[in-house]
Structure 1
Amino acid sequence: MKRLISIYICLAADLQSVLGVDLCATPIHGCKNIPRLLSKDDYSIEFGDQSYQNHSVLLYLEDSALYVGGANSVLKLDMDSRNINKIFPLNTTGQQDCSEGPCENVITVMEKFEDRLFVCGTNGQKPQCWKLSPSVSNQSREIETSCDGTGISPFSSTQNSLSLTADGDLYAAAPLEADGSLLEFRRKAGKRTKVWMHYNWASEPTFIAASWVKQKDDPDNEKIYIFFREKNSDTNPEADPWISRVARVCKVDEGGSKQFLQNIWTSFLKARLICGFPKESLYFNRLHDIFVLEAEDWRDTRVYGLFTSSWNSTAVCIYTIEMIEKIFENSPFKGYNKEIPKPRPGTCTTNSKSLPRDTVAVVKDYPEMTGWVHSLHHAAPFYISSNNYTKIVVDRVQAADNKTYNVLLLSTDTGNIHKVLEAGSEPLIISEIQLSNNSTIHALKLDSKKKKLIVGFSERISVVDLQRCQYNSCAECVLGRDPYCAWTTSGCVPTVPDGIQNIVDGNISVCPSTGIEQAKRTKRDDVSASAVPSTTVHSVPLDVPFYLSCPIDSYHAVYTWRHEDRTSPCLQMHSDCLHLITKMTQKDYGDFECVSTEKDYTKVVKKYQLTELKIPVERNIGTTISIS
């Protein structure tokens, strides 16, 4: 316990020394661990309707239709016309006995299943599912069939659940009881047998995500990966109460024989998912969100995990399916000391009912791997922040150099989006898109083809254009290292093949040489002449306080004030840099420049000239007395 307390004290006293990074709590210029740019929500479109709440379930289909699950309805949003159509009203008020709970029908599941829109909701604490077919007008949907939704939808929208459709089957995790108990991952419907988990395979789990990883060359060996956290069986006061997990089941698993594990997964294995500092035994143990980025080779498919810690920091760790598979294929089984039977427990087979009892018995009693799944950047998380992130999606962007770069899109608990570049081992926080004032983001969906991010709040849906390029010069466009943007003769525009970029290190030497030649002809050789501002003149009297201000264009730059041969640091006030003069003297008059320096790029942001304002002195007119 003393060791744990000492770690927390150390973290509180000096996060930089423990975590190896400088976590800036607020936007401070010159800090590399905050967004480079802060952008208002002037490049998002919004769909708002106060009568619909809980916009937490989004389904984006290939026809560009966005379906939104709300309270008592399913909405269809047209992102071009900004129209909202209620395609399926699902209000259960008056149809249920409300004596034991609310009658509200909150939509919790929306999937494309068997070529239909499949929708499930809480249905007044009596979960129900509907398969909908388009009407003649295609503006609404008609009920084709309905079925009991227990085990697919939770009884309450606050209860944990997830769903997945894969190769014609529907998988889900939702409680079987109204109190939230009997929460398991199951195959609930489709062309294969219904199967579920053994009761002792997870302790009070919270399911985060499930993903089907396709193997084109070997479809019978495809797995469904399940990500969750569960209660830690270690009751030591120093142990974290939660452990993050990755589990897998075979897509072709039909359960065991009638004599042993019938309708129970025969391939279920789980392993601990590690995110943190292994040398210090310091971990972010609470998995909060997962995004799986598919690759051409299934082994290279990346898993991005969003974790939190007990010391109020958030981390992103990256894994590959190959790394996860190595643990499942090679690690010993925790607690099992005998010779491992053949075929190895967890092996996929098209006839799981015929598996030897010894193989299936290991899965039943020892499903956990001894080995841990470490992250791609083994020694530390890829990204650590003091922001409380809630959701993550990742976009693969092709840059002007024809290489692809991954951009992490992270939502904060205050309703903002951070764009984080993954280029090498060090993250670059490109920008913060400010969408809301302290509203919680419930859902994120990415349209990678159109480069749009769909953001679900309780009160509205926002659609963010990820290709909004707000850079004013070639140097600034290149320094931004934004794969979505490149410099052309038309300015900084959405990336085109012949555009100017330098994503890896933001070296502005790739910019046209004319800009460099112009800089050499300025009165200060080290200051770029691109877009040098005009001079603002102020006349100020002596002996009065006065201040100058310039805006912060990039929080990764360092700002200073220059006056004659003297320099002074910027006094930051929110998004501005100030120069305070407590009392004007003669030496305070003249020219001032606010200068930003980022890497090799220096520019004048604001220019001022202070001149003395002469205040007329009133003369005392008295009576002259002449004595003769």
Structure 2
Amino acid sequence: MTMVCKFLLFESCFLSVSCSWMIPRLTLRQDDSPLQQIYSKNVSYTVFCLGNGSEKLFIGTLNRVLELHNDRVVKNFTLPKIGGDHESIHEYVITVIEEFQDWLIVCGTNGHKPKCWKMDVRTNDSSAVVVESFSGSGISPSIYSQNSLSLVVDRDLYAAAPLYSDGTSLQFRRLAGSQIKLWMNGPWLTEPTFISAFVASRPEDPMNEKIYLLFRERNSDDSPEADPWISRVARVCKTDQGGPKSILQNIWTSFLKARLVCAIPGESLYFNRLQDIFVLHSNNWKQSLVYALFSSSWNATAVCIYSLAELDDIFENSSFKGYDDDIPNPRPGTCVRDSRSLPIQTIRITKNHPEMTEWVHPIQKDTPLYISNNQIYTKIAVDRVQTSEKMYNVLLLATDTGTIHKILEHNSKTFIISETSLCHGPAPVLSMKLHSEKRKLFVGYPGQMSVLDLQRCQDYNTSCEDCVLARDPYCAWTENGCTSQTERGIQNIATGVPHICSTNSAPKRRKRDVSSSFSTTPIVHIVPKGLPFYLSCPIDSHHATYSWEHRDESKSCQKTKSDCLYLIPAINTHDYGNYSCVSRERNYKKIVKVYQLHGPSEPRSPNRALKLTVQKQWLFAIFTGLLFIVH
């Protein structure tokens, strides 16, 4: 089978229930978080800053900053108004919050005249002291919708933002701190959109620490079949001081860039539009991984993973695009103590040929880690979770409708654990920040900040089998039910097969803790002959198959997004009796719900509290039956 055929088969899976591995197993709603913050009005931009030490979270919205500490809001301060046009009087859109040296730097639009505040938030009251204000040019965009990013490394502030209100002169610059200011050479980039920047720490070799920049830019290939955008990764040396007066003075001398590839090899199916990245840092920088989220021209999205060591190897060993002569020593892009003393030939190659000939490929050469054609993803975070078995990576992907997909990565394959809604109605995710130590994901929406608890083990608490089938690395079955106490709990993350629950080693839940999401006590209905009637039970797993069992017969159900339905067009004598809604997943069979149907003249169950009156049931049966037929 060719790769194209495989892709078309893969694409068709989104329309087939049989491809259950491509849909979330559970659909959940979480709107009960005590940390949820409802804004006074909807916003179009939010920014999060997780403080050093991971105890403080700063949230920037319109005109104000919230500080959360130990799961509660401890400060809510409004920024002072600064003169400007009409926008500054009403709305100051915060675009940057960074912990810089001993202060908190807050920057924003300020009516198309970007401004920054240096703030002291160490006061004990609910306000912050403004130490000074200064121009935000090059740090914050003039309009919040314009592209920008910021990064603090040691005691230096780096940022990418347009210098002018029309969005022009967008560059990555070093703008403040202990080192001299640097900017870029204009021809190096074409209409860039900066996605993220990070530093790879090398405590044993600080002089060779590099800052990596990920972005997409306009493709120089303007042929009709070429995608107009192309994704890139670039790097600069943290110690770069710019060039001598004769060439690249106050300009990066170590800037190099390479194409970042995410594709289905052999078929020219490229995901060219980088959307977001997340870096899983390691103590050894060479073991760090870059998870990159891409979209494509055919409205599909994909996740590709890159090794930082392999990525760096391209910059160290690739030839320079358009340059065929001998490469001088030191090689362009090499970190040195004083870049102003570099040979002119080395700097000239950086100036005129900064692009690598070789491309950066993901660690999975054959295919992306994850592809979706029925969901558009906009943000990504990745958490490392230690289980009783091994360490697993969990992807957290935000959809364009605002839900969060929790996805297990195992042996280069993925399993969608759940889809969780955090706010009422579809809404775009404006920002997302992972707090791995607390196992929480902070999500910014236009009207609120919500928190996804990554350890909501109560969602799989009906039985050991339900807990194991979830394949959630955060949860395990214990004598207290499905909990986050994974060390001595029962898990089978690798396969999810729940046979482990039937072994003697599986802990039994204490009787006082026994609970069930669905009652199997029969629900009694009295239905006269000739009337239509339908049975309904909730779908607790989209990976399970459901059926109705009646008089040793198995009847298929009509599945909706949340229910399994079965229509009896006209009740007759054979239709009376017990109906069990049964789910089957892997090797686990569960009775979800039981109905007991009687005729008006038949003996009735003594549990009269569960009965409906004949008159009400006739009306209910006619109404719901007709609704079912219509749909």
TM score, norm. by length of structure 2: 0.88
Question: For 1:26-175, what aligned pairs fall within 5 Å after superposition?
Answer: 31-45=20-34, 46-51=36-41, 53-61=43-51, 62=53, 64-78=55-69, 80-81=71-72, 83=73, 85-92=75-82, 95-98=83-86, 104-134=91-121, 136-175=123-162
Residue 188 of structure 1 contacts residue 195 of structure 1 at CA under 8 Å; is this kept in 2? yes
Q: CA deviation at 1:425?
A: 1.1
Task: Give me the whole-angstrom Cα distance separating, in 2, the residues matched to 1:204 and 1:480.
Answer: 44
Which of the residues 203, 212, 217 maps onto 1:230? 217
One-letter code aligned to 2:426: N
Counterpart in the other structure of 1:254: 241
Counterpart in the other structure of 1:244: 231
One-letter code aligned to 2:433: K
Task: Give me the whole-angstrom Cα distance separating, in 1, the residues matched to 2:196 and 2:535.
Answer: 51
Task: Give me the whole-angstrom Cα distance separating, in 1, the residues matched to 2:90 and 2:138.
Answer: 19
Task: Give me the whole-angstrom Cα distance separating, in 1, the residues matched to 2:80 and 2:43.
Answer: 14
Q: CA deviation at 1:510?
A: 2.3
User: Which string of whole-angstrom CA distances, capped at 9 and with x for unpartnered residues, describes residues 150-189 of structure 1?
Assistant: 0111111011000000121111000111100010111111
Task: Give me the whole-angstrom Cα distance separating, in 2, the residues matched to 1:154 and 1:54.
Answer: 14
Q: 1:474 aligned to 2:497?
A: no
Counterpart in the other structure of 1:176: 163
User: Which string of whole-angstrom CA distances, capped at 9 and with x for unpartnered residues, describes residues 587-623 of structure 1?
Assistant: 33333222212112121212223333449xxxxxxxx
Counterpart in the other structure of 1:410: 397
Q: CA deviation at 1:23?
A: 4.6
Q: CA deviation at 1:51?
A: 4.1
One-letter code aligned to 1:229: R
User: Which string of whole-angstrom CA distances, capped at 9 and with x for unpartnered residues, describes residues 87-123 of structure 1?
Assistant: 242333xx2244x998632111110001211111111
Question: For 1:436-585, what aligned pairs fall within 5 Å after superposition?
Answer: 436=423, 437-469=425-457, 470-471=459-460, 472-513=462-503, 533-585=520-572
- Structure of greater relative contact order (alpha carbons < 8 Å, 6+ residues apart): 1
User: Which string of whole-angstrom CA distances, capped at 9 and with x for unpartnered residues, describes residues 115-166 of structure 1?
Assistant: 2111111111111111111364342111112221101111110110000001
Counterpart in the other structure of 2:607: none
Q: CA deviation at 1:530?
A: 12
Q: CA deviation at 1:35?
A: 1.1
Task: Give me the whole-angstrom Cα distance separating, in 2, the residues matched to 1:475 and 1:442.
Answer: 37
Q: CA deviation at 1:310?
A: 1.7
SS at match of 2:43: coil
SS at match of 1:200: helix
Q: 1:392 aligned to 2:383?
A: no
1:483–1:391 CA distance, 2 compared to 1 (3 A): same
Q: Structure 2 unaligned segments of length 5 or more: list them.
A: 509-515, 603-631
Residue 474 of structure 2 contacts residue 486 of structure 2 at CA under 8 Å; is this kept in 1? no
1:25–1:314 CA distance, 2 compared to 1 (3 A): farther
SS at match of 1:419: strand
Residue 399 of structure 1 contacts residue 495 of structure 1 at CA under 8 Å; is this kept in 2? no
Q: CA deviation at 1:78?
A: 4.7
Counterpart in the other structure of 1:619: none
Task: Give me the whole-angstrom Cα distance separating, in 1, the residues matched to 2:519 and 2:149.
Answer: 54
The alignment of Structure 1 onto Structure 2 pairs a total of residues equal to 588
Residue 300 of structure 2 contacts residue 375 of structure 2 at CA under 8 Å; is this kept in 1? yes
User: Which string of whole-angstrom CA distances, capped at 9 and with x for unpartnered residues, describes residues 394-422 of structure 1?
Assistant: 11111123x22111111112121111111
Task: Give me the whole-angstrom Cα distance separating, in 1, the residues matched to 2:367 and 2:271.
Answer: 10
Counterpart in the other structure of 1:380: 367
TM score, norm. by length of structure 1: 0.88
One-letter code aligned to 2:468: V
Q: CA deviation at 1:325?
A: 1.1
Q: CA deviation at 1:265?
A: 0.9
User: Which string of whole-angstrom CA distances, capped at 9 and with x for unpartnered residues, describes residues 176-216 of structure 1?
Assistant: 11100010111111111211111011100000000111112
1:79–1:546 CA distance, 2 compared to 1 (3 A): farther
Task: Give me the whole-angstrom Cα distance separating, in 2, the residues matched to 1:412 and 1:395.
Answer: 18
Task: Give me the whole-angstrom Cα distance separating, in 2, the residues matched to 1:44 and 1:232.
Answer: 44
The percent of aligned pairs where both chains have the same amino acid is 51
Counterpart in the other structure of 2:594: 607
One-letter code aligned to 1:71: L
Counterpart in the other structure of 2:325: 338
Q: Structure 1 unaligned segments of length 5 or more: list them.
A: 1-6, 519-528, 616-628
Residue 483 of structure 1 contacts residue 495 of structure 1 at CA under 8 Å; is this kept in 2? no
SS at match of 1:35: coil
Task: Give me the whole-angstrom Cα distance separating, in 1, the residues matched to 2:383 and 2:205.
Answer: 27
SS at match of 1:445: strand
1:468–1:97 CA distance, 2 compared to 1 (3 A): closer
Q: CA deviation at 1:431?
A: 0.7
Residue 88 of structure 2 contacts residue 110 of structure 2 at CA under 8 Å; is this kept in 1? no
Task: Give me the whole-angstrom Cα distance separating, in 2, the residues matched to 1:236 and 1:52.
Answer: 42
Task: Give me the whole-angstrom Cα distance separating, in 2, the residues matched to 1:560 and 1:90.
Answer: 63
Residue 277 of structure 2 contacts residue 290 of structure 2 at CA under 8 Å; is this kept in 1? yes
Task: Give me the whole-angstrom Cα distance separating, in 2, the residues matched to 1:531 and 1:572.
Answer: 18
SS at match of 2:430: strand
Name whichever of 296-305 and 507-516 sits farther off. 507-516
Task: Give me the whole-angstrom Cα distance separating, in 2, the residues matched to 1:318 and 1:23.
Answer: 23
Residue 96 of structure 1 contacts residue 103 of structure 1 at CA under 8 Å; is this kept in 2? no
One-letter code aligned to 2:50: Y
Task: Give me the whole-angstrom Cα distance separating, in 2, the residues matched to 1:560 and 1:515.
Answer: 32
Q: 1:356 aligned to 2:343?
A: yes
Residue 28 of structure 2 contacts residue 418 of structure 2 at CA under 8 Å; is this kept in 1? yes
Counterpart in the other structure of 2:613: none
Task: Give me the whole-angstrom Cα distance separating, in 2, the residues matched to 1:163 and 1:134.
Answer: 20
Counterpart in the other structure of 1:622: none
1:409–1:275 CA distance, 2 compared to 1 (3 A): same
One-letter code aligned to 2:68: L
Residue 55 of structure 1 contacts residue 68 of structure 1 at CA under 8 Å; is this kept in 2? no
Q: CA deviation at 1:84?
A: 6.3
Name whichever of 416-425 and 36-45 sits farther off. 36-45
Counterpart in the other structure of 2:628: none
SS at match of 1:119: strand
